[in-house]
Each structure stands twice: as C-alpha cells, then as structure tokens.
Amino acid sequence: MNYDNALKLENKRLSRLLINYPGRHLLLLSNHVLSSLASSPIPHKIRISETPVSTSDNTLDCAFLQSNYADLPFASDSINLIILPHTLEHDKNAKHILSEVWRVLTPNGHLILLGINPTSLWGLYKLFSYKPPPWNGYFYTIPTICQWVQHLGGQICHIESFFFRPPLTNRSGTWLFDKLFWLEQISPWLFPYLGGLYLIIAQKHIRQLNHLGLAWQFPPVLTNKALASNVRGAHCAYTA
C-alpha cells in the first residue's frame, strides 16, 4: 500500500491551504505531527494526541498535550483553526469528537478534515482485504460528515477528493502504480468524488442580532506550558 505517497500528497495539499488561514491558535488532533504545519502563519500551534508523545515528533515548534479527543482541555470558542487528519476514522464515537471540536472552534473559525474515502478503490480494498491497512477504522462518507457539520450549524466551504490510483502493494504493483500517474490528471474531471482521500473545509458561523453583530470575548487557551492571553476579535477568513 502506497501510504508514503498518500501522506506526502496530504502534506502538499495542506501546505498550500494553511497559508490562507491566519489566526492566533491552531489545533491538530493526531498521533503524528504534520510537516505542513510549518507553512501556517498561526504562531501558536498545539497538537493533541491520545497516545504519549514520541521524541521523534518534536521536530516542529508545536506544543503537545495528551488528552481524549472527545473531552478537549480548552475553553469554548478559543481555537481559530482545527485540523483532523484521519482522526474520525479511529473512533466509533466520531460524531462526539466532531461536536467537541466544534465547541472549541472560534466563531468564523475553520475546520479541516482529511480521511479515507469509502466510496473509492481504497475503500473497496479495506472492505475486501484480509489484511486491513494501517488506516483501518470507521470510514465515514463525505455526505455523512457534511451532514454532521451542517447539523452543528456549520457551512461547508470546500470539498475535494484526490489520490485516484489504486492501493497496490507488491513490487509489480509499485511499478504499475507509477505508470498510472495519468489517473491523477483526468479523474478529478471524470470522477471528482471517487478519490481515495477526501478533504473537507468547514466554517463555524455566528448569528447576528438585528444586524448589529455580537461582541465576543475569547477565553484563554490551555497548553502544557502556560495559559495563552485572551484573544479579542479574532477572525479567520476563508480564501479560495
């Protein structure tokens, strides 16, 4: 299975995206650090993992906390950008995790989700394989995740799928994988939602009263080092 190729492609996509999302606090819910975080202009980066930190992961200036994803140690409306790379797939209570993430996301903040697309060749491999891939878990379809976000009151800003080549494992499969590069060029036009990986960007909106707007005071954010200062009037706009 070409996991290295998939991870490199995910980091490449995120590197292009993260430069468009300023703010004060970025939260990553993952057992692994993403190298693409270096491209983010957000100064305060935090990684939450349900497993202890590895010394090999201390390559970026990113604070670390060990916590349950469904019970985050942050105040409500306190994080500008949250990234969930394959996070929902590892828990049958994915909907609860998404609700908790939505709680700590700031008004007008953004959520980026990455995962395996069940309606793809990668999803079929997981369904029929006797040796499940390392990303084996609870695969949720793109419409399901979008419905959850909309139920929370969010707006879907962007949806895409990519990595259309099949999950080939043996040596001859690797050769064929390289030869099928052309699938990455034509499939987005022919089968836009059948890529092996999906990327969804959602925004948390706030309601306005009588067109006057609402004044928000963001509480401090807890880290493993210290309490961050209050953030007033933080705003993160989506750039296409």
Q: Looking at residue 169, what is its pLDDT? A: 63
Q: Looking at residue 215, what is its pLDDT? A: 41
What would you report as the CA-atom Rg of the chain, rounded to the nearest whole angstrom?
A: 18
Question: How many angstroms separate the CA atoms of 48 and 37, rounded?
Answer: 14
Q: Looking at residue 216, what is its pLDDT? A: 41
Average pLDDT of the residues in 207-222: 46
- How far lies 41's CA from each of 180, 187, 231, 238, in Å? 35, 32, 16, 14
The fraction of the chain above a pLDDT of 70, given in percent, is 66
If one counts every other C-beta atom within 10 angstroms of the C-beta of residue 204, the result is: 22
Domains of the chain: 3-232 (3.40.50.150)
How do residues 153-168 score in pLDDT, each as one tens digit?
A: 999 999 998 887 777 6
